[in-house]
Amino acid sequence: MRDQLAIVLDATAGRFDADSILSTLITKYGVVDLDSIPHSGFWVIVGKNIL
C-alpha cells in the first residue's frame, strides 16, 4: 500500500505525511489496498496530512 500511496502522492504538487496517511487509512478502513478505499474518504485523509 505504501507504493500505491507514493505513486498517487507523487502525481500531486504537495508534501504529505505518508506514514500518518497510511496509519489512518488502515485504522479507518482496515485495508491494505488503496483500490478498496472510497475515493472521497481517501482524499479527505490525504488533505488532513498536508505538510
pLDDT of residue 21: 92
pLDDT of residue 19: 92
pLDDT of residue 8: 84
| Angstrom distance (rounded) from CA 25 to CA 20 | 8
Give per-10-residue mean pLDDT for the chain (51 aa). Answer: 85 82 93 86 90 80
CA atoms within 13 A on the CB side of 21: 26
pLDDT of residue 15: 84
pLDDT of residue 5: 87
